[in-house]
Amino acid sequence: MSKSNSSVRLPRAKGIDMATCYTPKECARKARHIVLPPHNRTIVEQFIAILGMKDKFALYEVPIPNKIVMFGPPGTGKTLTAYHIAQRLALPLVVVRLDAIIHSHLGETGSNVGKIFEHAQASPCVLFLDEFDALARTRDSSDEVKEMARVVNTLLQCLDAFDGDSVLMAATNLESELDRAVWRRFDTKLAYRMPDDSSRAEYIGLLLGGFAQQAGVERAAAELLRGCSYADMEQILMKAKRKAIIEDRPLNEAHMREAYAEYRPVPERQD
């Protein structure tokens, strides 16, 4: 992306500075292994269904939702959900790098925020803001409180004006640090947790399905990977697959244990 002080252009291609754009086809490929817990799947399906019934909701003068905030531990499926929804809506996904739009001069940060939202208003897309807490942190914070408050106020104005055919999705691992006024602007909220036994087994089945393996490998993997996030499981399983391919042998439990030991996941605490 070319970037200047006067304008921010978000081309529909990868390799740009402030944001990366993915086509619906690319989103479908990235989200093909998504596992959503039943509650979140219900919310997502209802959200998509409502967007397909705009005329009916307009008839009853009921506003439709267009903003989703996702919160929970890293690696639990928030980004995959953004890919999934963009693919289902047949819209491009614009993934914004908040570290790129947060400027040392906070006045410029507010300007960048405005330009990102202007793009989404003009070009239908799913606008995805990851690590949202970096931008929407509570205004009660003591560091540079006045300047950060201006940035949050700009964000609030953008959220209030956000309409049309685009959808806004934001993700955070630190939902308690989001400004309460920002939090209230989101009409749809999705909570994410570490995978339970059922979700873990389903995800392992998706990743290993069709790959040559010894009997009992998926069951052993489900036990070995207990406490891991989806992201950790994917890395370990891909590493194990590579080992099996190098040896030209079916995937076995030894491959899994070697991959686990090399990757060294740090599981979330299970209280």
Bigger pLDDT: 264 vs 145: 264
List the domains of the chain with CATH numbers: 19-191 (3.40.50.300), 197-263 (1.10.8.60)
CB 106 within 8 A of CB 138: no
Provide the whole-model pTM. Answer: 0.85
Percent of the chain past pLDDT 70, that is, above it, reads 85
b/e for 114-144, b at 16 or more Cβ within 10 A? bbbbebbbebebbbbbbbbbebbbbbeeeee
Range of weakest confidence among 80-84, 90-94, 139-143, 267-271:
267-271
What per-residue confidence (pLDDT) applies to 211? 96
Task: Give helix 106-122 / helix 145-161 axis angle, nearest 10°.
Answer: 10
CB 203 within 8 A of CB 235: no
pLDDT over threshold 70, residue 166: yes
Bigger pLDDT: 144 vs 26: 26
pLDDT tens per residue, range 183-213 = 999 999 999 999 999 999 999 999 999 999 9
The CA–CA distances, whole Å, from 162 to 23, 62, 117, 168, 267 equal 22, 16, 8, 8, 38
pLDDT over threshold 90, residue 99: no
| Tokens (6 digits) for 263 | 């990757």
Range of weakest confidence among 14-23, 94-103, 128-137, 220-229:
14-23
